[in-house]
Structure 1
Amino acid sequence: MDNNNITILKIGGSVITDKSADDGTARLSEIERIAAEISGFEGKLIIVHGAGSFGHPQVKRFGLTGKFDHEGSIITHMSVRKLNTMVVETLNSAGINALPVHPMACAISSNSRIKSMFREQIEEMLANGFVPVLHGDMVMDTDLGTSVLSGDQIVPYLAIQMKASRIGIGSAEEGVLDDKGGVIPLINNENFDEIKAYLSGSANTDVTGGMLGKVLELLELSEQSNSTSYIFNAGNTGNISDFLSGKNIGTAIGAGTI
């Protein structure tokens, strides 16, 4: 299968859920708008969405970043699965042939980093015109029992393994912002140290490292694959369709030029 025209789109949990809620609260109108923007896209597409209030508060409540807990692992998985079902059903209503892929059933981590992911289903889905939809999840972990697997880790892993050509990270920010609130157009290894000072964690409960975590994962991706990723505001109408139509928006991360 020719992988070189795969696009990976991450949709942040803060865009499709109320991330400040204590329990799963979806923003259905946002999910519907995003589905409408994706519906015109013709190419091979993998969607990864964050967990937002369907995962982060549960992880915090059960202390799952520091300890193994059967009940907490199950409750968190079932919660993010509920959000994934909403996303997949909304995409299908918009005419997108979307299918769910739950990392709990196909990924193994070691000390909170992906050790392996069974990708054959994803490749066959793409080859047959489906859009696989993955999400942040609890996964089995050979060291910890279970661990949190963030969508921000899934995206670069799949991008490297499947040689994706274009990566978009739809967050709740216009891009990566400097100390004056302006969008930084390009981040690469040359300017990362000076930009690191501007990057802080997410405003709401985020157990996956906020914007700094995203940038670090994507810089690592660019080193391993020579690809460029774009962080942009998925909450703004038209940005996702602009990204999918080939426009460079938000902050570019990687070796590429603007």
Structure 2
Amino acid sequence: MHTADLLVVKIGGSLFSDKRLDRHLDPAAVRRYARIAAALHRAAPGRVVLVSGGGAYGHGAVRGLDPSEPFAALALTGANAELRWAWTVALREAGVAAFPVQFAAAAVLGPEGDARLSGEAVARLLAAGVLPVLSGDCLPDRSGRLHVVGSDLVPGALAALAPGATRIVMLTDVDGVMDGETVIPRLTPDGADAGLRALWEAPRWDTTGGMAGKLTAALEHSRKGAECVILHGARIGADPTFLLAPFEEWPRGVPRTVVAAQPPVSKTAG
């Protein structure tokens, strides 16, 4: 099979919880997407990482933070630990070895505030054939103040794990970046104005900026060489392994927005 060197699957919180609530979870949806991640892991062991959106857990933990309190974001670590464990249990029930990784234990903030992997924890899990499960977290700067790093930003740090092509699949509850009723098929870091203009304002309960935050993160990942795909999670059928394949091999009728600086991943040896 032709694949990217690394596939990061980010499952948006809206697909498995009601983000307007605190700690709401749809167990059936978690099991469905866990089966999808498990199938991808079996198809490309050692090349797949799962990143969970915060959903009601993450958004609930960071709403109304006191900016004068350096440790205010600490609640996010506890909330998302519960969420990662729910995914880990569902993945093990789906038949794969999965391990929840706290992002703050595997990454640090760079001098410009960007998250960077530190150490070999995630790479070692992949090498052992284990599916890592990550989420957003809060990371300390050099002064000890905690900064929220949302789940849309986590894949950018993970791209450092792959020596070649990284594909970041962002599953959400819409078909991609929409311009009215039309999906914008492709955006590049230097040509994203149309996509950004088309975005709507995120609701107040969404602490990550909705699609605008997702697209901004995807554009940043693409500047670093990753290929990002934004698509509706409901479009994933019984066989999700097409997510590993070149786009010309994808099933028809799967709309998406590709965000990449270079042409999409094609016939890369897998």
User: Quick check: TM above 0.5?
Assistant: yes
The TM-score normalised by the length of structure 1 is 0.86
**Which residue, out of 240, 260, 266, partners 1:254?**
260
Compared with structure 1, are the counterparts of its residues 189 and 122 closer, same or farther at alpha carbon in structure 2 (3 Å cutoff)? closer
Cα distance in 1 for partners of 2:4, 2:235 equals: 28
* Unaligned stretches of 5+ residues in structure 1: none
Asked if 1:11 corresponds to 2:17, the answer is no
Flag as ranges the 4+ runs of structure 1 deviating above 6 A: none
Whether the 8 Å contact between 2:62 and 2:75 is mirrored in structure 1 is no
- The residue aligned with 1:174 is 175
Asked if 1:48 corresponds to 2:51, the answer is yes
> Secondary structure in 1 aligned to 2:8?
strand
CA RMSD of aligned residues (A): 2.6
Letter in 1 for 2:82: K
Per-residue deviation, 1:203: 3.4
Compared with structure 1, are the counterparts of its residues 200 and 157 closer, same or farther at alpha carbon in structure 2 (3 Å cutoff)? farther
Number of equivalenced pairs: 250
Whether the 8 Å contact between 1:160 and 1:224 is mirrored in structure 2 is no
Asked if 1:31 corresponds to 2:37, the answer is no
Compared with structure 1, are the counterparts of its residues 110 and 224 closer, same or farther at alpha carbon in structure 2 (3 Å cutoff)? closer
The TM-score normalised by the length of structure 2 is 0.82
* % identical aligned pairs: 26
Whether the 8 Å contact between 1:107 and 1:140 is mirrored in structure 2 is no
Letter in 2 for 1:169: M
Deviations 1:185-222 (A, max 9, x none): 11114531122111234336222232222222222222
> Secondary structure in 1 aligned to 2:169?
strand
Whether the 8 Å contact between 2:106 and 2:122 is mirrored in structure 1 is no
Asked if 1:154 corresponds to 2:154, the answer is yes
Compared with structure 1, are the counterparts of its residues 224 and 160 closer, same or farther at alpha carbon in structure 2 (3 Å cutoff)? same
Per-residue deviation, 1:139: 2.1
Letter in 1 for 2:227: T
**1:186-225 to 2 correspondences below 5 Å:** 186-203=186-203, 205-225=205-225
* Unaligned stretches of 5+ residues in structure 2: 265-270
Compared with structure 1, are the counterparts of its residues 240 and 152 closer, same or farther at alpha carbon in structure 2 (3 Å cutoff)? farther
More divergent stretch after superposition (48-57 vs 155-164): 155-164
Per-residue deviation, 1:138: 1.9
